[in-house]
A and B are shown apart, each in its own frame.
Chain A
Amino acid sequence: MQSPAPDLESTLADVTTLSLAELKSLDGLDDSVLGRSLRRLLEEADNPADVVAGFQSSF
């Protein structure tokens, strides 16, 4: 039961490089996967208490 070596720190740092303030300053996020994900990130940042994990065996 070995976990792989943790070598993703630098990539993780790159991905989270945009602060919320910077995100909010972006205009017109497109409809790409990233654009939609960033819009959701902003929406959920406004309502963090609403995020709970749901059942994976259903929609």
Chain B
Amino acid sequence: MQGWRPTPFRQYILKIHSRCNLACDYCYLYAMQDQSWRSRPATMSPATVRQVALRIAQSAQAHGLAEISVVLHGGEPLLAGQALIASAASTLRGALGPDISASLSIQTNGVLLTRELLDILLRHDISVGVSLDGDRVSNDKHRRYANGRGSYDEVAQGLERLGSEPYARLFAGILCVIDVSTDPIGVFDTLLAFRPPTVDFILPHGNWTRRPPARGADTTATPYADWLIAIFDRWYSAPVQRARIRLFEEIIQLCLGGQSRSEAVGLSPVGLIVVDTDGSLEQVDTLRSAFPGASATGLNVFSHDFGAALAHPAVMARQIGLAALSQTCIECAIHRICGGGYYPHRYLAGSGFRNPSVYCPDLYKLIGHIMERLAADVRRLAGREL
């Protein structure tokens, strides 16, 4: 595109372990189209970590960035073990040197959050996000071990440890995948009981070819919006918010004319890249929910720098904002807010990604509702203050 300049990566998703100790039925890595994890090494080797760290440092220096973030991800990253997690943190910070700040985090299913592991995370200042889908019944519908046993009890114990001293300062938040058959308020209250600073609600992955659960073709049905609106109203109306909710805060920011920091909504350039256990560079790996190989770039940290990934057409497509949207979206009043929805949810076999989100009716209703609540408050604020 003429005049377009790439946005340097600021967030690096490192797949330090490609296997998982759970077998969640909606997992985009193991239960969907792409099975490439089978041919990848289980663990990222120390040599690959060193090469990734070198490339990150080179990229940050080349673009004059003072800070970047690294997410240790999986599979289940805690399966990589204490030694590799500790050495990865030291290697990354060592390569970046004193002039570039690295914010490190890990996203885990929480099953292995022992005190020994938390001590390591504390020592290396690695914040922790945990995945939990609500109360025991809601969570264990999907988040189970391979033998069918639910994971709630172990995760709840891990969350209790994480939320207690001296570890509480590491607690980043809880990710919850939506199941519209559950009670939204019950799910929200369960999550709040663990005292997370932030919660985020994730739409289950699907697209026009492989529809998400309960997201049928009837555009008058909005089960996901209805589920989320129940939580939004409870949260927004509370005198004090006990946790931030990322999805809602990003939508509010966009409604007010600002920009999103999440790839879920909005048109902000996507500034992340995924590095798999073998050092291969991938686009956001949730694209694997669309079709086999959807996230692949053909690049690898041993032979390519991150600048090569920035020039990849599929990476560019997620940095060009409006130009990547379908005509249907461009003609919609709120396209700047939903941003066409999450990119993997736009896929249609034979058509690609230049479509509205399969969640379009839900996004439209949710955003409309949030906008109406905001509009009333903005009018009050303007009348009182201006």
Q: Residues of A with Cβ closer than 8 Å to B?
A: 1-4, 6-9, 11-12, 14-18, 22, 25-26, 31-34, 37-38, 40-41, 44-45, 48, 51-59
List the A side residues contacting B349 at CB < 8 Å: none
- How long is the Cα–Cα vector from A59 to B278 in the complex, in angstroms? 23
Main secondary structure of the interface of B (DSSP, over half): mixed
Q: Residues of B with Cβ closer than 8 Å to A?
A: 7, 10-11, 13, 69, 71, 73, 105, 107, 127, 129, 172-173, 175, 198, 200, 202, 208, 219, 235-236, 240-241, 248-249, 252-253, 255-264, 266, 268-272, 284, 286, 328-329, 331-334, 342, 348, 355-356, 360-361, 364-365, 367-368, 371-372, 374-375, 377-379, 381-382, 385-386
- How long is the Cα–Cα vector from A20 to B283 in the complex, in angstroms? 35
Besides A8-B371, A34-B377, A59-B175, 4 other A-B contacts (C-beta < 8 A): A15-B374, A37-B249, A54-B11, A56-B263
List the A side residues contacting B257 at CB < 8 Å: 15-16, 41
Instruction: Jot down 21 A-B pairs with beta carbons below 8 A, ordered by A.
Output: A1-B356, A3-B360, A4-B361, A6-B333, A8-B367, A14-B379, A15-B371, A16-B256, A18-B381, A18-B386, A22-B386, A31-B240, A32-B377, A40-B253, A41-B253, A41-B258, A53-B270, A54-B261, A54-B272, A56-B202, A59-B107
Q: A56 to B200, Cβ gap below 8 A?
A: yes
Check A6/B334 contact, CB under 8 A, given A57-B175, A59-B127: yes
Q: A53 to B262, Cβ gap below 8 A?
A: yes
